[in-house]
A and B are shown apart, each in its own frame.
Chain A
Amino acid sequence: MLETLFNNTTKERVLLYLYTYQEGYGQEIARILELPLRSAQLQLKKLEEGGVLICRKRDRTLLYQLNPRYPFYKELSAMLEKALTIMPDDERRKYFSPRLRPRRTGKPL
């Protein structure tokens, strides 16, 4: 959907991941999106260098998120939201519908 604009499907998927999951690190993003780790890491690095993402270190892990101070943050978010609404339901539910609401401790899964 947005790959023409971004010139890269991996970049689009990484952005959609960070938009829906709110944050993530390379290995986790690559695993969930079923991408080669190096491709995911490369796109994360490029997006961070371009100011689209911000990155912080937690223990030894680089944690990425969309940069709320990126000048096109609002517009980018609107585009990603739109992309999600028109994405096939199966694909969206598989890759971009994380459970972020808390689960009570002790609850059998």
Chain B
Amino acid sequence: MKKLNWKKMSVEEIGGAISSHLKKRGMDCVLSGGSCVTIYSDNFYKSADLDFVMTEYPREKVDEALNELGFTRTKTWRHYENPKCPYLVEFPPKPLAAGEENIKKIATRTTKFGKLKLLRPVDCVKDRLAAFYHWGDRQSLEQAVLVALNNRISYAELKKWSTAEGSLDKYEIFLQWVKEKKR
């Protein structure tokens, strides 16, 4: 296997390398969480880990595949670390969802280290807004705004989703931020 210089790779490239490696071993995963914000904000926001949501596979199989890339599971939780890689890798529990909505459409990006499946920008915004709506997390609001400003997203879809989440009032706050930051 080609030796990878993790420290010089972007989050997107690391994600591509890991997911294509898992794919070769028959495991399918989708990148979610803060690292999608990093990718969709052109690295403006820095995430500390890569969260992959994947279909259930035996833990030993995942361990083995990641060990081949130099990642070992930490004792405390479901994280994997590689001393040569600045990011932790995590496999949060299924389903792939934003708030109450299960995510079905997935984006794909191609890197020189392999293909990466990840949340679409609009779902990345929903994922962040869910944290703002339900926990009042303003860091997530700022990240949602960042992704919305840097990508083409459907505001109609976001409004519909926000209504279903019972958070139309907070959606208005998000829109206010987008408008203000566009100036």
Interface string of B161-183 (1 = CB under 8 A from A): 00000000000010011001100
Q: Tell whether, in the assembled complex, residue A102 and residue B135 are in contact, meaning their CB atoms are under 8 Å apart.
A: yes
Interface string of B126-142 (1 = CB under 8 A from A): 00000100011111101
Interface string of B120-161 (1 = CB under 8 A from A): 000000000001000111111010000000000000000000
Chain A residues within 8 Å of B180, by CB? 85-86
Q: How many residues of B are counted as interface, with CB atoms below 8 angstroms from the partner's CB atoms?
A: 21
Q: How many residues of A are counted as interface, with CB atoms below 8 angstroms from the partner's CB atoms?
A: 20
Q: Tell whether, in the assembled complex, residue B131 and residue A101 are in contact, meaning their CB atoms are under 8 Å apart.
A: yes
Q: Does A105 contact B (CB under 8 A)?
A: yes
Q: Tell whether, in the assembled complex, residue B138 and residue A107 are in contact, meaning their CB atoms are under 8 Å apart.
A: no
Interface residues of A in 33-58 (CB under 8 A from B): none
The 8 Å CB contact of A104, one of B77, B81, B142, is B77
Could you list which residues of chain A lie within 8 angstroms of chain B, going by C-beta atoms? Answer: 20, 22, 81-82, 84-86, 93, 96-102, 104-108
Which 8 A-B residue pairings sit nearest by Cβ, starting from the closest? A106-B77, A106-B76, A101-B137, A85-B180, A100-B137, A101-B131, A100-B135, A101-B135
